[in-house]
């Protein structure tokens, strides 16, 4: 069990930075686990792409671009990479001859599954440090805030930077 920081060390306005640092630490952890397993160093945008494609079969490049908040050209480029690596397939769209239907390959689905496991691992490590009830509270609080800010609007994914 780690030492417990002094609550009095709070300085007003430091929490946003703490969020960023903690997130950074977690992504570092995630990526180092990924590297240990010998996986391609996929970038965060790829992760969000996977997630979206897994949840939206027959999505098009334009759909994806809208979801990621980038241009269709940029989305197209990302998809091309993922296709080269065998994670995604482009097929003729069932009804629209202009469009392509994007689907995850088996390898793509496996990756999503692995990523889920790794993120859970990372979170678990966090839980070990602060305790499971604190984690639950934190989870709830962050969702409350995100809900408060975005309500039912779509949530921007990428940490902007």
Partner DNA sequence: GTGAAGTGGTCAAGCGGGTTGACTATACCT
Partner DNA sequence: AGGTATAGTCAACCCGCTTGACCACTTCAC
E strands, the chain, in order: 88-92, 100-104
CA 21 distance to own-chain centroid: 16
> Which of 10, 24, 43, 134 is the binder for DNA (CB under 7 A)?
43
Q: How many helices (H) and strands (E) does the chain have?
A: 6, 2
Contact partner, 138, from a copy of itself, DNA, none, Cβ < 5-8 Å per class: a copy of itself
The 80-119 site mask, x for binding a copy of itself (CB under 8 A), equals: ------------------------------------xxxx
- Contact indicator for 109, 54 with CB cutoff of 8 Å: yes
Q: Is 57 exposed, middle or buried (0-12, 13-18, 19+ CB in 10 A)?
A: exposed
CA distance 92 to 86: 17
Residue 20 found at the interface with a copy of itself (CB under 8 A): yes
CA distance 14 to 11: 6
The 29-58 site mask, x for binding a copy of itself (CB under 8 A), equals: xx-------------x--------------
> Which of 53, 78, 115, 118 is the binder for DNA (CB under 7 A)?
78
The 100-139 site mask, x for binding DNA (CB under 7 A), equals: x---------------------------------------
Residue 34 found at the interface with DNA (CB under 7 A): no
Contact partner, 32, from a copy of itself, DNA, none, Cβ < 5-8 Å per class: none
């Amino acid at each position: 069990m780690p030492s417990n920081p002094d609550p009095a060390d709070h300085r007003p306005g430091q929490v946003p930075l703490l969020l960023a640092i903690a997130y950074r630490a977690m992504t570092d952890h995630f990526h180092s686990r990924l590297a240990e397993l010998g996986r391609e160093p996929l970038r965060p945008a790829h992760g969000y792409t996977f997630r979206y494609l897994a949840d939206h079969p027959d999505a098009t490049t334009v759909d994806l671009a809208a979801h990621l908040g980038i241009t269709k050209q940029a989305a197209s480029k990302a998809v091309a990479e993922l296709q080269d690596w065998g994670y995604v397939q482009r097929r003729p769209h069932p009804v629209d001859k202009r469009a392509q239907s994007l689907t995850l390959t088996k390898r793509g689905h496996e990756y999503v599954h692995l990523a889920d496991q790794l993120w859970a691992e990372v979170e678990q490590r966090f839980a070990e440090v602060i305790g499971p009830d604190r984690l639950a509270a934190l989870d709830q609080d962050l969702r409350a805030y995100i809900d408060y800010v975005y309500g039912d609007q779509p949530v921007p994914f990428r940490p902007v930077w």
